[in-house]
């Protein structure tokens, strides 16, 4: 069962596609048409879905820690499909697969992550995942969108786009997570794209052969110019494609662990 309490285009569809490909029955929980809108709690909701027969609950929720909270109250397997600004583990795995397919081993490779580092679960999961695979991860973005102490997760902090891109084998651009920001942290999209947007000109700072990623949704002309998004260097569609394979693997491994437990 997929339970998405936040919007999704790629993650939900690819989890559902992956589950179908493995021969599973898939039910898509509709938050607005459910009893959550009548005041039922998350814990009671998932206990009921488990009683209906869900072996796996794929959960996306705006609160950090929501999938862990769900896992505490059900026996079913719970997969985190994004919990607030905290983590998005299958996104990092699909990014790693996409990068390995293009660059080979990630050991010693330099990867820049640029954008709203403070509110991006993709940034956090990728810092963990890519550094575990031996890559050197560098993060950069407007100072108001950089969390204090991020380097403790095992990445470097670059102070400008030029510093972030220097020598990078790959750059991942991230969207400003407006839905998680109550106050104004940057003057506006135009100013953001002028300083941090990836354009054919800024890509000249990258070594030849280096690639561009973005987890989507892309705001064309803000994080990536249309020329960059649609260029040969862009792996954005490869990332989407990797998502199905990675989610098949995640589902199969979790279910196999359950069967053998």
Among 61, 88, 233, 247, binds ligand ASP (CB under 6 A): 88
- Binding ligand ASP by CB under 6 A: which of 82, 89, 142, 147? 82
User: Nearest-CB residue to ligand ASP?
Assistant: 175
Under rule CB under 6 A, residue 175 binds ligand ASP: yes
Residue 12 binds ligand ASP, judged by CB under 6 A:
no
Binding mask 13-52 for ligand ASP (x = CB under 6 A): ----------------------------------------
CB of 217 to ligand ASP, least distance (A): 6
Closer residue to ligand ASP in complex, CB, 73/181: 181
Q: Quick one: angle between helices 89-103 and 10-21, nearest 10?
A: 80
- Closest contact distance (angstroms) between CB of 86 and ligand ASP is 10
What are the residues facing 171 on neighbouring strands?
112, 212
- The rounded distance, in Å, linking the Cα atoms of 65 and 82 is 9
Between 36 and 218, CB nearer to ligand ASP: 218
Grouping H, G, I as helix, E, B as strand and the rest as coil, residue 228 is helix
Does 216 interact with ligand ASP (rule: CB under 6 A)?
A: yes
Nearest approach, Cβ of 36 to ligand ASP (angstroms)? 20
Q: Which residues pair with 133 in a beta bridge?
A: none
Q: Look at residue 83 and give its three-state secondary structure.
A: strand
Non-local (6+) Cβ contacts of 112 within 8 A are 137, 138, 139, 140, 158, 164, 165, 168, 170, 171, 172
- Give the dihedral sign, CA 117/122/126/128: positive
- Which CB sits closer to ligand ASP, 82 or 89? 82
Kindly state the smallest distance separating residue 179's Cβ from ligand ASP, in Å: 8
**Which residue's CB is nearer to ligand ASP, number 19 or number 122?**
122
Q: Is the peptide bond before 217 cis (omega within 30 degrees of 0)?
A: yes
Rounded to a whole number of angstroms, the minimum distance from the CB of residue 215 to ligand ASP is: 4
> Which CB, 136 or 215, lies closer to ligand ASP?
215
Distance CA 168, CA 102 (A): 14
Site for ligand ASP in 108-167 (CB under 6 A): 121-122
Q: Shortest approach of ligand ASP to residue 60 CB, angstroms?
A: 7
Q: Which is nearer to ligand ASP, 50 or 228 (CB)?
A: 228
Beta strand extents in the chain (DSSP E only): 2-4, 28-29, 56-61, 77-83, 110-114, 136-140, 156-157, 170-173, 211-213
> Which residue, 162, 213, 232, 222, is CA-closest to 191?
222
Give me the residues that bind ligand ASP (CB under 6 A), please: 82, 88, 121-122, 175, 215-216
């Amino acid at each position: 069962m997929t339970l998405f309490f936040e919007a999704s285009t790629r993650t939900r569809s690819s989890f559902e596609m992956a589950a179908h490909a493995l021969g599973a029955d898939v039910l898509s929980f509709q938050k607005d048409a459910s009893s959550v809108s009548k005041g039922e709690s998350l814990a009671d909701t998932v206990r009921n879905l488990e009683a209906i027969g869900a072996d796996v609950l794929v959960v996306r929720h705006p609160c950090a820690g929501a999938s862990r909270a769900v896992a505490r109250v059900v026996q079913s397997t719970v997969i985190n499909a994004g919990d607030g600004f905290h983590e998005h583990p299958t996104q990092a795995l699909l990014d790693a697969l996409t990068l390995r397919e293009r660059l080979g081993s990630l050991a010693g490779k330099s990867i820049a992550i640029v954008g709203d580092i403070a509110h991006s679960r993709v940034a956090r999961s990728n810092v963990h995942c890519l550094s575990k695979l031996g890559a050197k991860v560098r993060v950069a973005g407007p100072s108001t969108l950089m969390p204090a102490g991020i380097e403790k997760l095992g990445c470097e902090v670059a102070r400008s786009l030029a510093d972030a891109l220097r020598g990078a084998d790959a750059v991942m651009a991230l969207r400003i997570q407006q839905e998680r920001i109550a106050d104004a942290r940057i003057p506006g999209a135009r100013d953001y794209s002028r300083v941090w947007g990836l354009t054919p000109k800024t890509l000249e700072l990258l070594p030849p052969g280096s690639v561009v990623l973005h987890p989507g949704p892309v705001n064309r002309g803000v994080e990536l110019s249309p020329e960059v998004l649609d260029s040969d260097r862009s792996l954005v569609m490869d990332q989407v494609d990797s998502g199905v394979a990675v989610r098949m693997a995640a589902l199969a491994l979790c279910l196999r662990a359950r069967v053998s437990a």
